[in-house]
Amino acid sequence: MPGRLDSRDRQLLIGAGLMLVVLVVVAALVGPAQVAGSEALPSSYSPAWGGTKAAYLLLGRLGYQVQRWEKPLADLPHLGRGAVLVLADPMIPPTSDDQIAVRRFLERGGHVLATGPTAAHFLPDAESFTPLPSWVKQQRFRPLVPSPLTRGVGEIELLPPKEWHPASPAHVAVFGDKQTAAVVSWPVGRGQVIWWASATPLTNGGIQRADNLGLLLNSIGPAGQRVLWDEYVHGVRATLWSFFLPTPVPWIFLQFGLVFLALLFTYSRRQGPERMPAVASRLSPLEFVETLGDLYHTAQAGAAAVGIAYGRLRFLLTRQLGLPVTAGPREVSRSAGERLGWDEAALLDTLARSERMMRSLEVKDEEALKLVREIHEWIARLAIGHGGGAARKESR
C-alpha cells in the first residue's frame, strides 16, 4: 500500500503546480494575437492570400523601423516628421479622439498610408467612394500625373472603385484612368495622405503583381523610416504583458522566479534529527485488566490473586502503623483499631480468611473475587483516612 504524502511533500507539489499555472498564463498572454476572420483582412499577422504579413516582414528586412500598433490611435506618440501610419482597410470606426490624433499626426509631418473606402472616416477632408463587389476583376492603372509615388512605377494592379472622382482641388489623383481614380494624395499640414482604392498592393497575393511593390516603397518613403502598422483597427488589442513590459514588473517576476528556484534546489527533507516513529500500544489499560483476569481464570489462580492483594494491604498497614513485617493478623488488627479507629474484628476476619484462602488448593473464583474486593475496600479506607499519604505514595 503506497504511503501517504506528508505536509512537506504536499507543499512542494502545490508550489510546483502554482508555478505551472503561472507559466501557462504567461504563455497565453505573450502568445501572438489572433484576429477573428483574419483570413479576409489585410492584417500583418495573416499569411493568407489577402493578408499583409509578407509586406510587413519585407519592410523590416529592407531597413524600415516597422512595428505593429495595437493601441487606440488617440495614444499615438509624437514620432517626428517622416513617420508613416498604415491604415489597411480599417474595420472599426474611429472615435472623435482617434480622428483628432490622426490629424495631429499629419500636421506634425507624419504620412498616412490608407486603403479602402472605410479609411475615409479616419482621414481629414476625405471624400468617400463606393467600392465594387469583391468578385469584380482587378484592373491595372497607370500614372496620371508626375509624383514621387510614380517614380519607377509603370502601372499598378488593384481592385477598382466605382467612379471615384475627388472634388477637392487639393486631392490629386496620382493613379487611375478616365473612369475612376485609383490612388489619391493630398497634404495636411506638414504631412501627406496617400489613399489607395484597395489594399491589393499590400496583400500577400497582390504585392508581386505589376509594379505594386514599387508603389508600396514609394508610399512608405526612404529606408529607415519609422512605420506604425495599425492592427487596432482590425480588432487586435495589446496584451496585458505588453502593458507591463516597459515597467519594472517583469524584473519583479524574474526575481520571484529566481527565489522560487533557489527554494526548490535548497529544499531538504532532513531538516532535523532523525527519530523513531512513536508506536501506539496494542493494549489499552482495560484490555490489560481483562487479559490478566482471563489468565487468572484459566490457570484457576484465585489464591494467587488473593495473595497479591493481601500482601499489598499488609505492607501498607505495617508501614503506616510502624509494625514489623513479621507481625501477625491479630497484632495488626489491634493496632489498626487503636490508632486508625477501624473495626478490629472485621479487619481480623478479612486478614484471617485471606491467609486461609492463600493456602487452599481449591478456591472458587466467586469467593476469591469477593475477598479481593474487601481487601481493596480496606486499602481505599487507608488512602482516604489517616494513612492516606502513604497509600497514595505506594499506589503511584
Q: DSSP assignment of 90-121, as one string?
A: --SPPPHHHHHHHHHHHHTT-EEEEESGGGGG
The pLDDT score that the predictor gives to residue 130 is 86
The distance from CA 288 to its chain's CA centroid, rounded to whole angstroms, is 55
Question: 71 and 207 share a domain?
Answer: yes
Question: 127 and 218 share a domain?
Answer: yes
Contact criterion met (CB below 8 Å) for 204 and 50:
yes
Question: 218 and 82 share a domain?
Answer: yes
| CA distance linking residue 50 with residue 156, whole number of Å | 17
> Which pLDDT tens digit goes with each residue over 338-348?
888 888 898 88
Residue 107 lies in a domain: yes
Question: 291 and 207 share a domain?
Answer: no
* N residues, the chain: 396
Contact criterion met (CB below 8 Å) for 348 and 356:
no
How many other C-beta atoms are found inside a 10 Å radius of the C-beta of residue 267?
Answer: 12
Question: 217 and 309 share a domain?
Answer: no
The pLDDT score that the predictor gives to residue 83 is 92
- Residue among 52, 192, 195, 209 nearest 121 (CA): 195
Question: 78 and 217 share a domain?
Answer: yes
Q: How far from 215 is each of 61, 145, 201, 212, 356, CA to CA, in Å? A: 17, 14, 8, 5, 131
Range of the domain at 223: 35-244
Residue 256 lies in a domain: no
Residue 325 lies in a domain: yes
Residue 249 lies in a domain: no
Question: 77 and 216 share a domain?
Answer: yes
The pLDDT score that the predictor gives to residue 32 is 47
- List 227's β-bridge partners, or say none: 66, 84
The pLDDT score that the predictor gives to residue 2 is 46
Question: 297 and 169 share a domain?
Answer: no
The pLDDT score that the predictor gives to residue 66 is 93
Residue 41 lies in a domain: yes
Question: 172 and 233 share a domain?
Answer: yes
Question: 234 and 289 share a domain?
Answer: no
The number of domains in the chain is 2
| CA distance linking residue 97 with residue 105, whole number of Å | 12
The one-character DSSP state at 150 is: G
Question: 302 and 236 share a domain?
Answer: no
Among the three residues 195, 226, 244, which one is the final residue of a domain in this structure?
244
Residue 10 lies in a domain: no
Max Cα distance, the chain (Å): 150
Residue 24 lies in a domain: no
Tens digit of pLDDT per residue, the chain (396 long)? Answer: 345 556 776 777 677 777 777 776 766 555 544 443 334 688 888 888 889 999 999 999 999 999 998 888 888 888 778 899 999 999 888 999 999 999 999 999 999 999 999 999 999 988 888 888 777 788 999 999 999 999 999 999 999 898 899 888 899 999 999 999 999 999 999 999 999 999 999 999 999 998 999 999 999 999 888 999 988 888 776 555 555 555 676 777 777 788 777 777 666 555 556 677 777 666 566 676 677 667 666 666 677 888 888 888 888 888 888 888 888 888 888 988 888 888 889 888 888 888 888 877 777 778 888 888 888 898 888 876 644 444 434 444
Q: What is the CATH number of the domain that holds 122?
A: 3.40.50.880
Helices vs strands, H then E, count in the chain:
12, 11
Residue 321 lies in a domain: yes
Given the DSSP bridges, would you call strands 111-115 and 84-88 parallel, antiparallel or unpaired?
parallel
Question: 42 and 103 share a domain?
Answer: yes
